[in-house]
Chains A and B, each alone.
Chain A
């Protein structure tokens, strides 16, 4: 027979479940305390996050390895990571629909990896405070004085001048990971207080748009000429033909050739090199880059997929 739980029993069961399944350590940060920390207020205004409560921002700055007796950003940063990679992937999938999936994934990684996010944290003026709890105690500081700094335990500790001890394990982390983690947590706090639509705007304004990545640099082609001819066959175009457009000093030590690759009357790409073969290959790479980095004006473009050779 199924036992029906009363409200009190249900609540007690719920709370024991929560205790067993959440790893929340430390006490919550009070809004009245967090609001009075000047660093947090300044961060709020610098990032135009005035509507995000100060306690949420203060929590985002406390890493899982922190020795402060406050709740940390472990859960927030894990959720923020998912939000970030989802919106970055969506952004580039719509912008460059012809990019192969592994290149797209790699591109998203350039924007959402920990070192990349740590750069953002630095730009936002987030500063670390990695003193131990003993160090803070000796300088007569309380836990509230650590709010507003990025709080974490560094894995590199200076034992004596000139000698560093590198620790491992889950109790310590690197500065880059802690900085990146707090950016993820801030994204999650923006989601929690503004909702899905506005977090997308925040991610695009503060994470994606400021970064400039040269997209022609992220792809390498192993057999460009062959790939181009397969591509032309697939798209129902005439087979590509390389033609010499200009040359200089063929029999000298510094010869220059300019080759173009044509499909019928259409010029697909152009490249220059010190040998005929190099110029031809560069022209094919140029044409393939033009194909893969196509960006449509309408957003509902569906691509035929990767070229298989």
Chain B
């Protein structure tokens, strides 16, 4: 057979092309029933937990009672866990942190050096010195 099929080395799975699957799969809200640093968290859980969970049915919410500072932990589909300590924070501030955990993609924060990063090959192609018109070529 003149044409042979060979194994592909790098095939990329792009979330958001075709369908988007929300990367945050589970959020655990940890609070202490006694400690003063959990006061805001306790209030949030008492008053707003139902609304928060109902608003995002695609995320599994767990509430954990444990001694220590209150903590919000998000688990993502790429296996990363992000944890934020929300000690001595009021419900509004905690809600901000919760939104951050919820909307995160689960990747490590990094500085993007280019305006566009893509897995696609450049449409223009690699620059080649041979395809420049003769009069514009660099001459020694």
Contacts and interface: CB of A to CB of B under 8 A. Distances in A.
B6 A220 contact: yes
Given A119-B13, A122-B77, A212-B119, A47 B2 contact: no
Interface stretch (B34-42, B57-65, B84-92): B57-65
A211 interface: yes
A205 B18 contact: yes
Nearest to A119: B13
A144 interface: no
A247 B131 CA distance: 11
A125 interface: yes
Contacts of B18: 204-206, 208-210
Interface stretch (B19-27, B44-52, B93-101, B109-117): B19-27
Interface residues of A, number: 56
B138 to A, nearest CB: 11
Interface in A200-244: 204-206, 208-214, 217-223, 226-227
A212 B17 CA distance: 10
A214 B10 contact: yes
B8 interface: yes
Contacts of A214: 8, 10-11, 121
Given A42-B57, A42-B59, A220 B25 contact: no
A249 to B, nearest CB: 11
Interface in A15-49: 38-39, 41-42, 44-48
Contact of A46 (B5, B22, B119, B131): B22
B127 interface: no
Contact of B13 (A47, A210, A220): A210
B5 A123 contact: no
B15 interface: yes
Contacts of B16: 210
A272 interface: yes
A199 interface: no
Contact of B8 (A217, A292, A307): A217
B3 A220 contact: yes
A124 B128 CA distance: 42
B9 to A, nearest CB: 7
Contacts of A245: 130
A306 interface: yes
Given A122-B77, A125-B77, A206-B19, A102 B5 contact: yes
Contacts of B79: 122
A219 B14 CA distance: 23
A39 B120 CA distance: 35
Contact of A106 (B5, B11, B60, B121): B5
Contacts of A226: 2
B19 A211 contact: no
Given A39-B60, A211-B12, A212-B119, A46 B2 contact: no
Contacts of B131: 246
Contacts of A219: 3-6
**Which residue of B3, B6, B12, B78 has the most chain A CB atoms within 10 A of its CB atom?**
B3
A272 B128 CA distance: 10
Contacts of A106: 5
Given A205-B19, A210-B17, A210-B18, A42 B60 contact: yes
Given A38-B60, A42-B60, A221 B2 contact: yes
Interface of A: 38-39, 41-42, 44-48, 100, 102-103, 105-107, 110, 116, 119-120, 122-125, 127, 204-206, 208-214, 217-223, 226-227, 245-248, 256, 258, 272, 288, 292, 306-309
12 contacts: A39-B60, A42-B57, A45-B58, A46-B58, A105-B5, A123-B13, A212-B12, A214-B11, A219-B4, A220-B3, A220-B6, A292-B3
Given A123-B13, A218-B5, A222-B2, 6 more contacts: A42-B58, A45-B58, A124-B21, A212-B14, A214-B10, A247-B130
